[in-house]
A and B are shown apart, each in its own frame.
Chain A
C-alpha cells in the first residue's frame, strides 16, 4: 500500500501535519483505484492516437479505393476496409481526432454557459434563480439525446453544429451541478466571513466559491466527455452528425449497418473504438468521483 501521508521536514511548527489536504488525499485514492487507472491509461492511448494519427497511418483516410472494398483484416489493411475500400484503421485513428474534438468542444460549451449561470443562480438565489431553474427544468424534461437531436434539426448537420447542439443539451446538467454546490458553499461561514469584511460579490464567487466547486465539475467533465462521444456517434449513425467523408466513428457504424451480416468487421472495430473511448472517460470519471466526493470517506 502506498504511503498516503507525507511527512514534511519542519515538523516542529506543524501542529497537525498528518492531516493532508483533501486534494492530496483524493489523488492518493485515485492512484489506488485500478479501474480509474485503467481508464486513465486507455485515455492516454486514445489521446496518443488522436495526436499521432498522421504518423500512425500514412495516407488519406478519406480517399476511396474501390478495388479493395470490404476487405477483411489482412496484412495490408490491419483492420480491413469499408465499402469504399478505405482503411478502417486509418479512419478509426483519424476518427479519434474528430471525437476528441467533439468531446472537448461539447464540454467546453457546457462549461462556458453552465458554470457561470450555475454560479449566478446559486449565489444570488431569488427571482434570477427561479427563472434560470424553471428554464433548466424545461430543458431537462427532454432526454439529453432528444434535445441534441432537436437542436441539430434547427442548426443543421456538420461538426460545429454537432458540438454546439450536444454542448447546449449538456448546459442544464452543469447549471444544476454548479448551483447545487454553490447552495452548500454559500452557507459556509467563510463566505459569510468574506462578506463581513466587505468583499465584493464577484470576488466571493470567483475566489471563494468557484475553487470549491472545481472537484465536482472535474468529475462531471470527464463523464460528460464520454457522453459527448456517445451522442456524437449516435448523431453520426443517424446521418445527421459529422458528414462523410470526414472519418467519424458513428457515421462509420451507420454505413457499416448494411454489411453487418456478411462483413461484421466493418461495424465491429468502430464499435469497439466508441466503446473503449466512452469506457475510459467513465472509469476515470467514476474514479475521480470516488476520490473527490467528500461523502465517500474510505
Chain B
C-alpha cells in the first residue's frame, strides 16, 4: 500500500497520567508514532500496557479532572490537545471515531440501533430525522446486516454479538471519518465471527481512504490487517516495524516473546505453550532501567540501571533495547 509522506496523525511524546489515591500513575509514558492516510497501523501489547489509554488520550475521552495529558497530537495541522472541548467534540465521530471492545455493552439498551447510528449523523452531518434514519439503514446495509430496515428498529438485545459489533462499525463509519481507532474490535467475539468482522473491516477500508489504528493483543489479527506495527510495553513504545519484518525479524525480546507465545495448531499437545514469565509491572512501582528487564531472559547489567534509548534502524523501524544498541552502536 502506498502512503503519503505527511502523516495524518502524529503523536509526539504523549504522556498520560492518572491521579489516584495511591499516587500518580503514568499509563502512557512518552509514546510517539505516526499514522499515515489509508494505512492500518497495529498497536500491540498485553493488557494494561497503555494501548487503549493512548487512543482515549488522542480522542480526549478521559476525565480531565483525574488525568493529565502531555505531549502533542497533531491531526490536520492542529494539536488536538490544545483544542477547546467544543472543537474536540466536533472532531469525535466526524473525522476521528472509535470502535470499542465490548459490543455487548457499547450500545445503549434502551435505544434502537437505528437511532444510535442516526444520532451521529444528525449531529455531524446535520441531517433531519428522516434522512438520518435512511442513512442509518444504508449504513447497516454497508456493514452487511441482513434485513437492515427491520434491524434498525430493533433494540440491541435482539442482536447477536457479531451483529452488534457490525452496528458499532456502522456508527464509527457513518460520517466517513479519516481515522478510526479500533480498540480490540474482535476480542469479545468467537473465532468465526472474528474472521467475518476482520473481513468486513478490510472490505470497508478498500473502498475508502480511512486509516485504522488497530489496537489488539492478537498478533494473528495484526498479521492479517496491519501494514505496520507498533509494540507497546508498560506505557512505552518498545518496537516499531513493518508487519512482515516484525514477524521475521523482531528485535525486542518482548516482541519475540509475544511471537513465540502464539499457539500453533500443529503443535504437539504435550508441549507447553511458550509464555513470557511474570506480569506487567505495577505502574506505581516501575522497575529501574528498562521496564521489561525483570521478565527478560536476555537482560544485562545495564538494563537494570538505565532505560534503553530508542534506536532508529531505518524508516518505520525502531527498537528500544540495549541488545540492539550493542549491534548498532549508540545513536
Contacts and interface: CB of A to CB of B under 8 A. Distances in A.
Interface of A: 10, 13-17, 19, 21-22, 125-126, 188-200, 203, 207-208, 211-212
Contacts of B110: 211-212
Contact of B171 (A22, A189, A193): A193
Interface in B266-319: none
Nearest to A207: B111
B106 A126 contact: no
B92 A195 contact: yes
Interface in B78-130: 89-94, 97-98, 100-102, 105-111, 119-120, 123-124
A190 B108 contact: yes
Interface of B: 59, 61, 63, 65, 89-94, 97-98, 100-102, 105-111, 119-120, 123-124, 146-147, 150, 155, 157-160, 163, 168, 171-172
Identify the interface centre among A17, A199, A212: most chain B CB within 10 Å of its CB: A199
Contacts of B157: 16, 19, 21
Contacts of A188: 105
Contacts of A189: 100-102, 105-106
B270 to A, nearest CB: 39
A17 B157 CA distance: 9
B124 A17 contact: no
Contacts of A15: 158-160, 163
Contact of B59 (A10, A13, A196, A199): A196
Given A189-B105, A190-B107, A211-B110, A196 B100 contact: yes
9 contacts: A13-B147, A16-B157, A193-B171, A196-B97, A197-B120, A198-B93, A199-B120, A199-B123, A212-B109
Contacts of A126: 65
A61 B163 CA distance: 64
A196 B150 CA distance: 26
Given A207-B111, A212-B110, A16 B160 contact: yes
A193 B106 contact: yes
